[in-house]
């Protein structure tokens, strides 16, 4: 009978251990659930902040960085068309060399001037006109871009001003290039 007495005591001890284990398990689960709820709340708050920032960015619209850069590039190309450029200088030097090689020493003075200097001058004018044309087109694209991108959104005033400057420099450079190429402006001197 001793065994029977020990059995209920052992059974009670096991029941207590199970109840304690269940309590620990339930507390652990509850604590884990609370931790998950807190981190879930933090994630929700972060998502709300991100959504608010994204909404603010969308309300502001796309940045004008591309248009501003295009306007500045237009002005730079316009200045290059007026002051000269490396490509035009190299092409003119090459044309001078080709003219010297093609012209014989027995050619007339006017023929030598045209072949050696005239073609080089025209090549320089051609490259200046090319840069001026690119400046003009780039400035015009920047000016008309808002009409196609976001019609209701106004363009920043500084971008408009710089783009108009690029267009003006492009027009002036193109005009001067045409005048130089056609020998109206600074034509070749006549051979006497």
Find all residues with CB under 8 Å of 159, minimum gap 6, and list them.
64, 67, 68, 71, 142
The pLDDT, as a whole number, for residue 191 is 67
Query: What's the CA gap between 58 and 142, in Å, rounded?
Result: 22
The pLDDT, as a whole number, for residue 59 is 46
The pLDDT, as a whole number, for residue 112 is 77
pLDDT tens, residue order, the chain (192 aa):
455 555 655 566 555 555 554 444 555 554 444 444 455 556 565 666 555 555 544 444 556 788 888 899 999 999 999 998 888 888 888 888 888 888 777 777 777 777 778 888 888 999 999 999 999 999 999 888 876 766 677 778 888 899 999 999 999 999 999 998 888 877 777 766
- How many other C-beta atoms lie within 10 A of the C-beta of residue 77? 25
Find all residues with CB under 8 Å of 129, minimum gap 6, and list them.
81, 173, 174, 177, 178, 181
The whole-model pTM stands at: 0.61
The pLDDT, as a whole number, for residue 150 is 66
The pLDDT, as a whole number, for residue 116 is 78
Q: Where are the alpha helices (DSSP H) in 61-118?
A: 65-83, 86-102, 109-113
């Amino acid at each position: 009978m001793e065994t029977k007495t020990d059995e209920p005591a052992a059974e009670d001890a096991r029941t207590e251990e199970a109840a304690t284990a269940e309590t620990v398990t339930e507390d652990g689960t509850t604590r884990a659930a609370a931790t998950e709820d807190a981190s879930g709340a933090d994630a929700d708050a972060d998502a709300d902040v991100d959504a608010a920032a994204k909404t603010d960015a969308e309300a502001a619209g796309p940045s004008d960085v591309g248009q501003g850069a295009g306007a500045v590039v237009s002005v730079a190309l316009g200045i290059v068309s007026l002051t000269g450029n490396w490509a035009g200088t190299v092409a003119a030097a090459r044309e001078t060399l080709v003219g010297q090689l093609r012209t014989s020493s027995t050619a007339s003075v006017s023929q030598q001037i045209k072949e050696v200097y005239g073609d080089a001058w025209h090549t320089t004018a051609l490259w200046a006109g090319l840069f001026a044309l690119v400046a003009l087109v780039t400035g015009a694209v920047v000016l008309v871009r808002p009409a196609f991108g976001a019609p209701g959104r106004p363009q920043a005033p500084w971008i408009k001003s710089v783009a108009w400057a690029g267009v003006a420099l492009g027009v002036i450079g193109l005009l001067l290039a045409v005048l130089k190429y056609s020998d109206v402006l600074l034509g070749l001197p006549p051979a006497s």
